[in-house]
Chain A
């Protein structure tokens, strides 16, 4: 029984190591050209776009080829079909816990109680504003792209609770991926799942800046 258990554990670890590696192949220059081709298509439009560069472990926020922001990917796990570097629409973003909620302005609310938009306020920084800010953005969420590509983002975080949440998020991703692959295979749909760890601020910024239906590039 112990021998069987140990054998299964060894097989499991071997499989885990193999499956999380980003698929690599020898045609690096061809890959770069595919990336540049894809970027050219998006850069021709007056939009901002993300390049999730899994190979160099960085996320680039760009517009017209200009680099606006560069974020480091602390760790990346890849599962599924190879992703070619074509512009892809980001269909949906969903937070693991609470989605940030827009404030609904109530015209009937007492203006004296709630007004923060006043030039006469003499205590700078002492008031709370009713608005969506960067700090309201989640750090653990999932992005769904066209062609069955999912990117799960989790924060690096520090501290016990943060570590626990990260472990829970990663375990959920790890356990669900083969099941979702089989399920999507039955449906005849492609499925690729990518797990990224970013620092908290970068995770919030990606959620803040990434708009649904925008075209972005995933490069491995």
Chain B
């Protein structure tokens, strides 16, 4: 008797589920569009349009050398077309958050994604510490500009990407390959030297 009741319960649940499934199929199928087969002439036109679109997309890709930065693997690739010319281990943003205890400001230390470009290059760059660099250390924000300046921490070269983000050198070479920065991309000295010869103002930098 108990077995029969259990079986009936299972069948009822099964039946309800089937009914729901059938309902779902009917409702979801209503929006589906059916296509007719194309004629040979219109197929030729479609193929031509296909080729044109591929060409238009291809024309959008960077001309010449460009950089691709993989923030997940902390790698930088120097590329030309489909070819990878060089692979470099870097450090990218930690993704950490810093809140200003004194106010409403918040900083999220991500390396920005998307396509950027090298806007300027500096040799022997000097770091002008922003407010977050003091807040992070629990220090007071200096009133004088000269108290913000720190030399010899950004390596021999810096490539500015806009909004304060840079590709630059680092003292912390043991941390290369890890997500440790405040958003900038850090490169080891030897690789930075080689990059400096390759990168120019306007070089595209794709970051993902």
**Residues of chain A at the chain B interface (Cβ within 8 Å):** 1, 4-5, 8-9, 11-12, 15-16, 18-19, 23, 25-27, 29-30, 32-33, 36-37, 39-40, 43-44, 46-48, 61, 63-69, 79-82, 102-105, 107-108, 111, 116-119, 121, 124, 129-134, 175, 177-179, 181-182, 185, 190-192, 204-205, 208-209, 211
Contacts and interface: CB of A to CB of B under 8 A. Distances in A.
Max count, chain B CB within 10 A of own CB: residue among A33, A66, A79, A190: A66
Contacts of B101: 107
A40 B29 CA distance: 29
B9 interface: no
B31 A190 contact: yes
A69 B18 CA distance: 40
B114 interface: yes
Given A81-B31, A108-B138, A131-B179, A103 B36 contact: no
B53 to A, nearest CB: 4
Contact of A182 (B10, B23, B53): B23
B60 A64 contact: yes
Interface residues on B, range: 35 or more
Interface of B: 4, 7, 10-11, 14-15, 17-18, 20-25, 27-38, 43, 46-47, 49-50, 53-54, 56-58, 60-62, 68, 70-73, 82, 94-99, 101, 108, 113-116, 135-138, 171-175, 178-180, 206-208
A46 B204 CA distance: 10
Contacts of A9: 14
A26 B35 contact: yes
B208 A61 contact: yes
Task: Summarize B's interface: helix, strand, loop or mixed.
Answer: mixed
A161 to B, nearest CB: 25
Nearest to A201: B72
Nearest to B170: A119
A121 B174 contact: yes
Contacts, number: 198
Given A134-B72, A178-B24, A116 B14 contact: no
B43 A68 contact: no
Max count, chain A CB within 10 A of own CB: residue among B71, B94, B172: B94
Nearest to B177: A125
A39 to B, nearest CB: 6
12 contacts: A5-B11, A9-B14, A25-B34, A27-B35, A29-B38, A32-B50, A43-B60, A48-B206, A63-B208, A64-B60, A65-B57, A65-B60
A116 B180 contact: yes
B38 A27 contact: yes
Nearest to B72: A134
B97 A37 contact: no
Contacts of A27: 35-38
A105 B54 contact: no
Given A104-B96, A132-B179, A119 B171 contact: yes
